[in-house]
Amino acid sequence: MEQAFSTAKGALENGEVPVGCLMVYHNEVLGRGRNEVNETKNATRHAEMVAVGHVLEWCRQKGRRWQEVFKDTVLYVTVEPCIMCAAALRLLNIPLVVYACRNERFGGCGSVLNIPADDLQHTGAPFQCIGGHRAEEAVDLLKTFYKAENPNGTFAFSNTAPKSKVRRKE
Amino acid sequence: MLNCFPDPDVGGSMEPPCKKRKTEAFGTFTWELMPVLSDERSGEVELLEAYAAPIINKKQTSALVKRLAEVYPLSNLPHIKRVRPCKDKKSDHPLEIIICLHSDLNSTDALNGKVSLSDLFPEGNVDVTGLGDPFQVKIPAEQPLTRLQFEIASQHWPTSFHENKQVTEALRGQLFNIEEKAKMQTFMEKAIEVAKVGKGLGMEPVGAVMVNPASDRIIAVGHDCRNGPNPLLHAVMVCIDQVAYGQGGGAFNHDKYPQCYFRSAEPFLGDDVVSTAKPLLLSDDHILKGTVTNRLPYICTGYDLYVTREPCVMCAMALVHSRIHRVFYGTSSPDGALGTKYKIHTRKDLNHHYVVFKGLMEKECQLLS
């Protein structure tokens, strides 16, 4: 989780939403990602999707099947995966996700929808979630970002930052 | 900002009726486009049990309305018209008035069978002069949102209704004229064509085409690539990334798939371009408000997506993040997120909503799988 946080800080330095994550397979970090939406002009380049790309590349280099690798891979991420990423994680059959703070606006693991638990026969496998570890720190990071982006309170994401929206999981 | 609810008089002049009739005469399409509306819009009319009574003396009406509103304000039912003209013309009373809901009464005894005015006003402190014997009615629990809902609701009791003309036209299949339908068919034909190319490469047979409706130009084309190096590259995700390439970004290497391509983004030319694009707002918010003129487009803001089958949750949410304007799909998917399992595009708790139509070249799209 420490590493996920430092990755998130990297996003902050690059003007991206500070979300960072790690994909760990048998105690080995195979993928690391931070939000790259502005850089790529692709709104789907969330930290999780970036990390998935790294794991796939590792699989390619090692000649491993991604199906075998992801089913033993744990995702550590600073913010609850959004609905899109939660569905992606299902499609990859990732068994466990550990996250810090909740994502009240887009959260796909309970906050808005509960994608890992829903009955979706054709969308991979359900997964487990553990939330709340260092939540306050993750919220503070987001707040720093939105404060910097939005000195006048008019930025589109301004209402993400306040406590009311990004609530901590106690 | 675009007006979502055009005044009927003004809105009517936008499209001369004679023009529409002329073009519709030649319309022959084997498919029918249906809007995928929110549950509130597509749902059935929910009814509540209530008591009403005839107003024997018409002159008492306003006094009765005032008195009843004090005892039973019906504050959760602002859409209900308290008084209705009597349905039966031969009746000896001209008007009927809602007294209260079943649930307003404390006594469960009163719920069954005939009730009297003294059951409904147990305190005895209301002047019921002019009211006849109460009877039971069913009244609509919510304000109707579509004309069909309004028609059903009105059969039970009159309600207020602010019609969204576009929703009504869409539900009647009248929203698009033949030229628009012909264009839609062309774009979906392209999506079907690339879906077949993808299938030939061992992919799922899904194709997607991104269009700028202001210029009717194809911005990006993508077919499913999930059986290639990245299992998450569904056609929609490929298409979104191709749009990003057109804007100087992009994240994946699509060189192996020449049928997935993009056009370089063109700057918006000014207000004219945006305003001639017919605003299509089947949801209640201002979808195009983020569109800025004289600037390069931001991700997929204002664009239309044509995709052969209903997107999954991942893709549907990717389209929320990408600020898509409208989605047209051919056929439903078992875990589809734009109508089947979810209606991601209408969720009030998400920060962007878009308009979805299904059924465009449905048969051809079904044949793909």
pLDDT band (50, 70, 90) for residue B263 = confident
CB-CB: which of A40, A83, A106 is closest to B249?
A: A40
> Is A125 an interface residue toward B (CB < 8 Å)?
no
Q: What 3-state DSSP class applies to B82?
A: coil
Sheet of B135-140: strand order equals B83-85, B95-101, B47-55, B135-140
A42·B344 Cβ contact <8 A: no
> Is B108 an interface residue toward A (CB < 8 Å)?
no
Q: Tell me which chain B residues have a C-beta less than 8 angstroms from the C-beta of A118.
A: 341
Residue B13 has pLDDT above 90, yes or no: no
Residue with tokens 């979810």: B342
A92·B229 Cβ contact <8 A: no
> Is A42 an interface residue toward B (CB < 8 Å)?
yes
Q: Which residue of A has its CA nearest to B241?
A: A42
Least confident of B32-36, B218-222, B281-285, B294-298: B281-285
Q: What is the pLDDT of residues A110-138, one digit of tens each?
A: 999 999 999 999 999 999 999 998 999 99
Catalytic site positions of A: 48
> Is A152 an interface residue toward B (CB < 8 Å)?
no
Query: Which bin fits A70, alpha (ψ -120 to 50), beta or left (φ > 0)?
Result: alpha
pLDDT score, position B268: 53
This model of the complex carries an ipTM of 0.88
Residue A152 has pLDDT above 70, yes or no: no
Percent of chain B with pLDDT over 70: 82
pLDDT score, position A149: 62
Q: What is the pLDDT of residues B273-329, one digit of tens each?
A: 443 444 444 544 433 444 444 455 678 999 999 999 999 999 999 999 999 999 999
CA distance B21 to chain A (A): 42
* Closest residue by Cα to residue A103 from A129, A74, A83: A83
> Is A29 an interface residue toward B (CB < 8 Å)?
no
B232·A92 Cβ contact <8 A: yes
pTM: 0.77
pLDDT score, position A90: 97
Q: Tell me which chain A residues have a C-beta less than 8 angstroms from the C-beta of B248.
A: 41
